Amino acid sequence: MSVCEIFCFDEEKVNRIKQEVAATEGLGHIFKALGDETRIKIIYALSREELCVCDVAQIIDATVAAASHHLRLLKNMGLARSRKQGKMVFYSLSDNCAKTIVEAALRHYQGEHGATK
């Protein structure tokens, strides 16, 4: 059995770590966005360069409506930003947070599976 046979805890350690762990409140939205393969592809693509909605649709093999839906969600989560140029809307990552997470996960996955970039 992998549980303690008696219940006791280090109160000082638990209180200290509990306060530190509280800083993670609100991070779930980032992982929710990254929990979808299509959004991961979009984030990866946007980490390479700014793209219009039509470009993203072609890259992910989806309709413009589907791409727009994912991009809007990423924007609402604060992971992407958009700018309008004439009749076109271009998207880019709002910062390097999601890019860093995706690239680290990709390195881990490739290391585990012996894949090459």
pLDDT, tens digit, 9 for 90 and up, residues 8-36 = 888 999 999 999 999 999 888 888 888 99
Q: What is the mean pLDDT of residues 59-71?
A: 97
Q: What integer pLDDT is reported at residue 1 of this predicted model?
A: 63
Buried b / exposed e along 42-72 (16+ C-beta atoms within 10 A): bbbbbeeeebbbebbbebbebeeeebbebbe
Q: What is the mean pLDDT of residues 51-77?
A: 96
CATH C-level class of 49-117: mainly alpha
Mean pLDDT of the chain: 90
Percentage of residues in the chain having pLDDT higher than 70: 97
Q: At what angle do helices 64-76 and 37-48 cross, to 10 degrees?
A: 80
CA–CA separation, 94 and 78 (whole Å): 7
